[in-house]
Each structure stands twice: as C-alpha cells, then as structure tokens.
C-alpha cells in the first residue's frame, strides 16, 4: 500500500467509525524501570550529562521497547499509534546536549519503528488497517510568554528558531514514513503556528503532503490554553491549516475536558479528537482512574455525537485503550457541521464577522 493509499484509507475509515489512538507512553516506559545505561546504549555511553528520562532517545538505544509498546497498543485496538518523538526537537533536546543529527535520527528511526509495526498489523488484519502519527510535541520555551517575570517582552527563543526546529523534526518524520502529523499538547498557540508554517512550507518545497492533526491543551478549569485562548479562539487561530482533526489532550480527565470538546464539536468543520488523562493525578502524582471508568466517560461523548477520534494521555495504558475501543465500537462518528462563510478571528477570545 502506498502512502497516498494509506491516507485515503485513513480518511475513509474516519467517516465509518470512531478511530482509536494509543495511550500514554511515559507511564508505560516508567514501568520498565530502566536505568541510565538503557537510555545511553552504546552510541551515547560517553555522552555528557544524564540521559535517563529522555524517553525519545529509546528509539535509538532500546528500539525493542518502543516496538513492543506500539504492538501493545495496536493489539489493544488502536487504529493509530504515535511515534515516540514527543520532545525530539533541537530546542528541547538541548537539555540533553544532543545535536541536530541525534534529533534527526530519533525522529527518522522512531517513524520507521512505528511504520514497521503498523504495516505488520495491517498485513495480519487488512480489515483494520493501522496508521502512524508523527508526534510533534510542545517545546520547553514559549513564544507567547515571557521567560523573565521582570520583563514582559523577554523571550528565550525566536519564531525563526522554533520554526527551524520544527521543520527539522517534521522532515525527518515524513521521510521516516508517518501517515499524518500530530502537533500535540499545545500550550502556546504561536509555537503551534511555527510548526504549522514549517509543515506547509515543506509541502511547498515538495515534501509529501500529509494530514495534520492539531491537539491543544486546556491547562486548568479556566477553560483556556496556557497562552490564554478559549477553545473556539484556539480553533480560529489554527483552522487556516485546514487540519484533518482538531482537539485537546492532557491536563484534564474526560469529565473536565468534555465541555471544551463539546465547544469544538459545535464550531469545527473538521474531525474532533480527544485523548484525556486518566483523571487528575493524586497527591503522589499517580493516576487512579481505572480503564472502565475512562471508557464509560468516553462512551457518553461518543453516544452524544461529540467525537471522531479517541485515545488516552497521561496515566492511560493499553488496558484503557482496549476498554475505550470496546465501548465505542459500533457508535457512529460525529458528522462535522457545515458552517456559514464568515470572517472568524481570534485573540484570547473568538471574534466573528458575518
């Protein structure tokens, strides 16, 4: 199956059923009890500084673990699995003193690992093809907020630097074989815009055009992203990219995320996606929400016609994903509304001119 065949199949599947994304990678990697040597491997055995905690580097040093996690999620019922590249930009990886070549290799090899797993599952179960989303996560530096509490105009990074870092990551993911881009856990919409510009510019330069899935993060009960936008304002800010899907992930459990997903379902004329945490963390930072509890909440979303793609974020496991997949099987996906043509703008709040 060619890449275009896979994209066409993905879009057709999204019209037929609610698609299932995988769950948390961090919690599953933590359960392995890996030590510093696992993260370093042979390639980074003499590398300066600590490497433990850099989950993305495992694409290079412990590919067996990454392959196993993809397989666990596909076995649980996931249609889509993310590459293990959430923080694999030159900006984020500077914390680990990794250069551009190492970042390229993480993204390229991470995509290849996921691609091999997806193709193997599709060959075994052609009636349920599997897909790969290239994970493009947030940065540890923001364009919309000051890096110095005493200087509102201070920034530790420029737009051009963020754009270049994302462009480098996106090209490697594309060449590694992903089916779509997942720009995720967005706290800063301007960072997201840099990633979207990188994608569109690479397409203009001849790189294969892939569907774009944009997933923001509502950081607390205020109902806003960290850079201050409401759900509708966030949508108005990014809809120019004509995404395959728009949604939210992380920060909240399904019960607290629902009103924000409902708002997107009302205004977005594309697919709506969500992958909430397994509830809120307890006092020890652990997630107590059980698979059947998460699945029950998401079943209600599906029944009420709010959603097209579901998965899990922090604290969710293959068991959570299996329960979600079982709970929404047979429920029709949301039908995107046809909205009248209008000029829709956004700052922190949405603004519309008919």
Q: What is the pLDDT of residue 42?
A: 97
Query: What is the distance of C-alpha 177 from the center of its chain?
Result: 16
103 marked ligand binding residue: no
pLDDT of amino acid 338: 86
Q: Can you give the pLDDT at residue 40?
A: 97
The average pLDDT across 143-155 equals: 88
Q: Is 314 annotated as a binding residue?
A: yes
Under a CB-based contact definition with an 8 Å cutoff, are residues 83 and 173 in contact?
A: yes
The pLDDT of residue 56: 98
Query: pLDDT averaged over the chain?
Result: 95
pLDDT at 213 over 90: yes
The model's pLDDT over 43-69, given as tens digits with 9 standing for 90+, comes to 999 999 999 999 999 999 999 999 999
Q: Is residue 265 part of a domain?
A: yes
Query: Is residue 347's pLDDT more than 80?
Result: no
User: What pLDDT is attached to residue 62?
Assistant: 98
Lowest mean pLDDT across 47-56, 137-146, 167-176, 256-265: 137-146
For residue 146, the model assigns a pLDDT of 83
Predicted pLDDT of residue 343? 72
Rounded to whole angstroms, what are the CA distances from 19 to 120, 123, 129, 214, 332?
19, 19, 11, 15, 10
Measured torsion, CA atoms of residues 24, 217, 95, 314, in degrees rounded to the nearest 10: -20
Give the residue numbers spanning the domain of 292: 3-337
Q: Strand, helix or coil at 333?
A: coil
pLDDT of amino acid 258: 97
Task: Please check if 117 is assigned to a binding site.
Answer: no
Check residue 345 and give its pLDDT.
74
Q: State the burial class of residue 70 (Cβ atoms within 10 Å of its Cβ: 0-12, 13-18, 19+).
A: buried
Q: Indicate the number of domains in the chain.
A: 1
Q: Is 222 inside a domain boundary?
A: yes
Q: Is residue 342 part of a domain?
A: no
Per-residue model confidence as pLDDT tens digits over 302-314: 999 999 999 999 9
**What pLDDT is recorded for position 152?**
87
Provide the CATH number for the domain around residue 13.
3.20.20.330
Taking residues 280-287, what's their average pLDDT?
88
Q: What is the pLDDT of residues 222-276, one digit of tens each?
A: 889 988 899 999 999 999 999 999 999 999 999 999 999 999 999 999 999 999 9
Residue 343 placed within a domain: no
* Position 340 confidence tier, pLDDT thresholds 50, 70, 90: confident
Residue 246's pLDDT is 98
349 in any annotated domain: no
DSSP per-residue letters across 111-143 = HHHHHHHHHHHHHH-TTS--EEEEEE---SS-S
74 lies in some domain: yes
* Residue 36, pLDDT score: 97
CB proximity list for 43: less than 8 A, separation 6 or greater: 60, 61
**Lowest mean pLDDT: which of 115-129, 214-228, 269-283?**
214-228
Mean pLDDT of 320-341: 94
List the single range of 78-82, 96-100, 216-220, 256-260 with lowest mean pLDDT.
216-220
Percent of the chain with pLDDT over 90: 88
Confidence of residue 348 (pLDDT cuts 50, 70, 90): confident
CA distance linking residue 92 with residue 90, whole number of Å: 6
pLDDT at 350: 81
Distance CA 43, CA 76 (A): 33
Structure tokens at 144: 């919309």
pLDDT exceeds 80 at position 180? yes
């Amino acid at each position: 199956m060619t890449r275009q065949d896979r994209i066409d199949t993905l879009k057709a599947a999204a019209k037929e059923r609610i698609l299932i994304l995988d769950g948390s990678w961090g919690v599953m990697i933590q359960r392995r009890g890996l030590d510093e040597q696992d993260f370093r491997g042979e390639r980074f055995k003499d590398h300066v500084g600590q490497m433990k905690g850099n989950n993305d580097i495992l694409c290079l040093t412990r590919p067996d673990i990454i392959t196993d996690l993809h397989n666990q999620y596909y076995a649980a019922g996931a249609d889509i699995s993310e590459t293990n590249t959430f923080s694999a930009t030159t900006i984020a990886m500077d914390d680990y003193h990794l250069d551009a070549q190492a970042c390229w290799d993480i993204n390229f090899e991470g995509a290849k690992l996921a691609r091999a797993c997806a193709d193997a599952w599709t060959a075994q179960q052609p009636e349920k093809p599997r897909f790969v989303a290239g994970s493009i996560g947030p940065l540890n530096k923001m364009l919309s907020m000051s890096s110095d509490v005493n200087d509102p105009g201070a920034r530790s990074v420029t737009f051009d630097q963020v754009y270049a870092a994302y462009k480098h990551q996106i090209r490697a993911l594309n060449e590694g074989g992903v089916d779509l881009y997942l720009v995720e856990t967005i706290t800063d919409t301007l960072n997201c815009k840099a990633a979207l510009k990188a994608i569109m510019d690479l397409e203009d330069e001849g790189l294969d055009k892939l569907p774009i899935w944009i997933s923001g993060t509502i950081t607390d009960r205020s109902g806003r992203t960290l850079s201050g936008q409401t759900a509708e304002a966030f949508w108005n800010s990014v809809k120019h990219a004509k995404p395959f899907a728009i949604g939210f992930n992380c920060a909240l459990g399904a019960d607290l995320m629902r009103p924000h997903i409902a708002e997107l379902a009302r205004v977005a004329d594309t697919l709506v996606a969500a992958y909430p945490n397994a509830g809120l963390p307890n006092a020890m930072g652990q997630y107590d929400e059980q698979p059947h509890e998460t699945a029950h909440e998401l079943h209600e979303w599906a029944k009420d016609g709010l959603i097209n793609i579901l998965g899990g974020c922090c604290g969710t496991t293959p068991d959570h994903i299996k329960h979600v997949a079982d709970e929404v099987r047979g429920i029709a996906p949301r039908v995107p509304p046809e909205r009248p043509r209008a000029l829709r703008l956004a700052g922190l709040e949405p603004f519309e001119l008919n």
